[in-house]
Amino acid sequence: MVQVSKVQKIAASEYGRCVRNQNYRLWALFVIGFTVIGARVLVNQWAQPIYSFSATEWNAFRTLLANLAAVYYYVLPIFAVIVAHDLFNEPRDRGLVATLSEHGARASDIHWGRLAGRLAYLSLVVGASFAAGLMVVIVTLLALPQSLTLIEVERAVPVLIFAETLGATVFWVVAAISCVVRDARKSIMVSMALLAFVLLGATLVSDILLYSSFGPMPITGTVEWGDFLHSARNTVGRRVYDLSPIDTFLMFVTFLSGSANFSVWFAIEVWFTPALQTAIAFVVFLACACKRRLFHLRWEQSPR
């Protein structure tokens, strides 16, 4: 059985406390982001059966939440970079480790303790946020007027959902890793966070270009392909924007395997969006790699 030393426990609790205090404004934004996204997930999964919406009301309500969540998909990567930067740049950190070492703490204990502290705190943030999301859903469902009429703006393009999901996933993974990995690999982490941000930004740009060129996609299309999906997720016949990220991912895999037959709209979205994303991401990444500095971020460890 792994013994957790006293030093690890203290380092975990104290460091968690310091991180929490130091970044409380940014963490607050994370909490709000998780709340909105959590609310969206919860609504999609559970809310419809327990509340008898009409189709229009239901779509409007879900679209509202989806757009709120989308804002955070696009905005939060910026904060992810700031948080990562903040956590990695602990200018007086070495002095602290030296002091703790002088009092008998092993450096590995301190680092493992911090890791545990950060993970514990991250878990707390995620847990609290989803709990808050649940509250938002309950309150909204109770307060929602019956005669709600909003224009349906959500697009039925699975690949866009997939791109958003991918970008958001990369971003959240980066944010999570940023919280637990120390400065040795910070340049990679910050690069990834920026890449995720660029990916999401590019999705937005490509959407605008697509809409200005071709107009909106029909929203009531159904998925009529994919034996693979049929066997895996029983997706055939469902409205595309009812699909979960996993369904969307499986659809994408099916498409890439060549077993799908899509309309030209879908093909454009599938190929144009990732191509533009990749191009922009590559250019920005190359520029960052050459310049080594962006937004005053440190890309290398300062010399000891």
Partner 1 sequence: MSEMPEGITTERVTAQREGSDIARVREYAIWARDVVARAFAESRGRSKIIDTVSIKELKVEKGTILGIVGGLDSGLGTFFQLSTGNIRPDKGEFLLFGIKPALGRKDVGLASYRFDLYGQLTVHENLALLGELGLEAGVGKARIPEILDVLDIGDLANAKYRNLSESERRLVLLAQALLKEPTLMLVENIVQGLDMLESIRVIGALSKIINNGRDITYLIGTSFYDEDLFALFTHIALVEQGRVTNSKRLVEQSPSAVRQDIVAALSSI
Q: Does 145 bind partner 1 (CB under 8 A)?
A: no
| Residue closer to partner 1 (CB basis): 92 or 291 | 92
Segment 22-61, which members bind partner 1 (CB under 8 A)?
A: 22
Whole-number minimum distance, CB 298 to partner 1, in Å? Answer: 15
Contacting residues for 193 by C-beta, under 8 A, at least 6 apart:
77, 80, 81, 84, 171, 174, 175, 178
Cα(243)–Cα(225) distance, integer angstroms:
14
Contacting residues for 195 by C-beta, under 8 A, at least 6 apart:
170, 281, 284, 285
User: Where does residue 277 rank: exposed (0-12), middle (13-18), buried (19+ CB within 10 A)?
Assistant: buried
Percent composition of the chain: helix, strand, coil (DSSP 3-state, to 5): 75, 0, 25
Whole-number minimum distance, CB 106 to partner 1, in Å? Answer: 8
| Residue closer to partner 1 (CB basis): 182 or 230 | 182
Q: Does 96 bind partner 1 (CB under 8 A)?
A: yes
When binding is defined by CB under 8 A, the residue of 4, 28, 98, 287 that contacts partner 1 is: 98
| Residue closer to partner 1 (CB basis): 296 or 304 | 304
When binding is defined by CB under 8 A, the residue of 45, 56, 89, 99 that contacts partner 1 is: 99
Whole-number minimum distance, CB 193 to partner 1, in Å? Answer: 22
- Per CB under 8 A, the segment of 42-50, 91-99, 219-227, 246-254 that binds partner 1 is 91-99
Give the residue among 194, 191, 178 at the shortest CA–CA distance from 118: 178
Q: Does 105 bind partner 1 (CB under 8 A)?
A: yes
| Residue closer to partner 1 (CB basis): 17 or 239 | 17
Quickly count: other Cβ atoms within 10 Å of residue 119's Cβ.
15
Q: Does 296 bind partner 1 (CB under 8 A)?
A: no
When binding is defined by CB under 8 A, the residue of 94, 239, 292, 293 that contacts partner 1 is: 94
Residue 75, both tokens: 């905005």
Q: Does 101 bind partner 1 (CB under 8 A)?
A: yes
3-state secondary structure at position 2:
coil
When binding is defined by CB under 8 A, the residue of 1, 2, 3, 21 that contacts partner 1 is: 21
Residue 135, both tokens: 């509250």
Q: Does 102 bind partner 1 (CB under 8 A)?
A: yes
Whole-number minimum distance, CB 23 to partner 1, in Å? Answer: 11
Q: Does 291 bind partner 1 (CB under 8 A)?
A: no
3-state secondary structure at position 239:
strand
When binding is defined by CB under 8 A, the residue of 7, 37, 70, 163 that contacts partner 1 is: 7
Whole-number minimum distance, CB 115 to partner 1, in Å? Answer: 17
User: Where does residue 3 rank: exposed (0-12), middle (13-18), buried (19+ CB within 10 A)?
Assistant: exposed
- Per CB under 8 A, the segment of 72-80, 89-97, 128-136, 204-212 that binds partner 1 is 89-97
User: Where does residue 243 rank: exposed (0-12), middle (13-18), buried (19+ CB within 10 A)?
Assistant: buried
Whole-number minimum distance, CB 88 to partner 1, in Å? Answer: 17
Cα(243)–Cα(179) distance, integer angstroms:
31
